[in-house]
């Protein structure tokens, strides 16, 4: 079994210290690190890399941002991912997501969070540079998750179409929601597990036009709201 860490970064000439630290973390932990630099689309970057790697079914593939720091030891990370990805019905595994994606297709919707439908936790930095934990909810199954950290096994990866769908205009937006939805359509379940990960971003890019364009396109192509089957049953759906 191989463990791959696929890190996509946009600017090949200005790779941050955080990104290099992440590369060193994975490398020292026995991961095969694949840094994709200067890509013009995260969709095509991931699609081409999975094709090039041609993973075996039991291999583990991590797709993550270049601005995260993982506090867990590499062996513990492998163990946690292996526990969940060894299950036949598992699609993607991540650290933050929701059991309910509403008609606005924004997974971190505050009202949904208040209703207790979010899962996982992520560490962030405050204005003074001090870390604090954003607690979304307990670990468990979700419909979609945030793309800062996503993992799947080779069997799932080779069934996925990582390329950008024709109806998306943006090259970097909504890939995580699209991938998780695709995994569900293939009959898999997505899960959030507990891992200490610091994300050096607060999602400032959400306001850009390409994000809104892809969100609207997603809304037009997928049936929403999207929720777990057990929640559909409890809601009379």
Instruction: Record the tokens describing residue 166, joined without a space.
Output: 């024709």
What pLDDT does residue 201 have?
77
Q: Which domains does the chain have, with CATH numbers?
A: 3-234 (3.90.550.10)
What pLDDT does residue 237 have?
36
- Render each residue's pLDDT in the chain as its tens digit; 237 residues: 999 999 998 766 678 899 999 999 999 999 999 999 888 999 999 999 999 999 999 999 999 999 999 999 999 999 999 999 999 999 999 999 999 999 999 999 999 999 999 999 999 999 999 999 999 999 999 999 999 999 999 999 999 999 999 999 999 999 999 999 999 999 999 999 999 999 997 655 556 899 999 999 999 999 999 999 876 434 433
What pLDDT does residue 202 have?
61
Q: What is the pTM of this model?
A: 0.94
């Amino acid at each position: 079994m191989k463990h791959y860490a696929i890190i996509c970064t946009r600017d090949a000439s200005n790779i941050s210290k955080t990104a290099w630290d992440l590369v060193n973390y994975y490398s020292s932990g026995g991961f095969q690190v694949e840094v994709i630099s200067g890509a013009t689309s995260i969709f095509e970057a991931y699609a081409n890399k999975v094709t090039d790697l041609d993973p075996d079914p039991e291999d583990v593939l991590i797709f993550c941002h270049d601005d995260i720091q993982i506090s867990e030891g590499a062996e513990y990370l492998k163990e946690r991912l292996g526990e969940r990805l060894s299950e036949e019905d598992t699609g993607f595994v991540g650290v933050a997501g929701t059991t309910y994606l509403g008609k606005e297709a924004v997974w971190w919707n505050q009202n949904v969070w208040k209703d207790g439908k979010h899962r996982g936790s992520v560490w962030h930095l405050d204005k003074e540079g001090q870390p604090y934990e954003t607690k979304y909810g307990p670990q468990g199954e979700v419909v979609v998750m945030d793309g800062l950290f996503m993992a799947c096994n080779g069997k799932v990866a080779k069934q996925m179409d990582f390329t950008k769908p024709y109806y998306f205009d943006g090259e970097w937006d909504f890939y995580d929601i699209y991938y998780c939805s695709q995994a569900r359509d293939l009959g898999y379940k997505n899960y959030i597990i507990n891992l200490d990960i610091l994300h050096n971003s607060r999602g400032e890019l959400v306001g850009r036009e390409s994000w809104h364009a892809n969100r609207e396109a997603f809304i037009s192509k997928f049936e929403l709201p999207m929720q777990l089957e057990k929640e559909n049953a409890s809601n009379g759906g």
